[in-house]
């Protein structure tokens, strides 16, 4: 481990599991995950060019990436905390955004892995369901993490 005189907080990570969550590539991964070359061809043939340009190589988004994976990737450094940024959760309208938050909040962060410092997701304060979701429910989901809202463009 590299010795630094300060703590590292990684301000932008993504956690996902296309096998068990409503991830954009989930159906293709569940159907073709055992055939990676065919899966790669299908993804390249069906996704918009802009998406492929953003993602680059697809192997990293077609496999789960959870706290143990992150800890292994950064084991040379002392990372104290991470901030999860929404990661292509397919259900991104209304109550769907709460699903990703709940999923990330229950992941095994801490102990021998960095702690979860915050979660950044989207919610539309102008949506009819926003008040029903309620600040109390969101605060419980976020526990001690920061909570911010950004207006989504239609």
- Classify 111 in phi/psi space as left (phi over 0), alpha (psi -120 to 50) or beta: left
Read off the pLDDT of each residue in 102-131 and give the average, rounded to a whole number.
83
3-state helix, strand, coil in the chain (%, to 5): 35, 15, 50
Q: What is the average per-residue pLDDT within 101-118?
A: 90
8 Å CB contact between 83 and 10: yes
Segment 72-76 mean pLDDT: 90
Give the burial class of 23: count Cβ atoms within 10 A of its Cβ; 0-12 exposed, 13-18 middle, 19 or more buried: buried
Who has greater pLDDT, 43 or 115?
A: 115
The pLDDT score that the predictor gives to residue 136 is 44
What single string gives the DSSP state of each residue in 51-82? HHHHH-SSTTTSS-B-HHHHHHHTTTS-EEEE
Q: What is the mean pLDDT of residues 12-25?
A: 87
Residue 17 has pLDDT above 50, yes or no: yes
pLDDT tier at 147, thresholds 50, 70, 90: low
Q: Report pTM.
A: 0.76
Query: What was the pLDDT predicted at 65?
Result: 92
Mean pLDDT of the chain: 80
């Amino acid at each position: 481990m590299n010795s630094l005189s300060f703590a590292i907080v990684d301000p932008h990570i993504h956690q996902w599991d296309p096998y068990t969550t409503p991830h954009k590539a989930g159906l293709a991964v569940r159907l073709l995950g055992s055939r990676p070359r065919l899966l790669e061809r299908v993804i390249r043939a069906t996704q918009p060019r802009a998406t492929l340009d953003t993602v680059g190589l697809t192997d990293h988004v077609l496999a789960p990436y959870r706290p143990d994976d992150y800890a292994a990737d950064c084991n040379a450094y002392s990372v104290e905390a991470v901030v999860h940024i929404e990661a292509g959760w397919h259900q991104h309208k209304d109550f769907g955004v709460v699903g990703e938050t709940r999923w990330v909040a229950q992941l095994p962060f801490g102990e021998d892995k960095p702690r979860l410092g915050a979660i950044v997701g989207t919610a539309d304060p102008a949506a009819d369901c926003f008040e029903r979701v309620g600040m109390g429910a969101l605060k419980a989901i976020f526990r001690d993490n920061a909570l911010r809202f950004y207006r989504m463009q239609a």
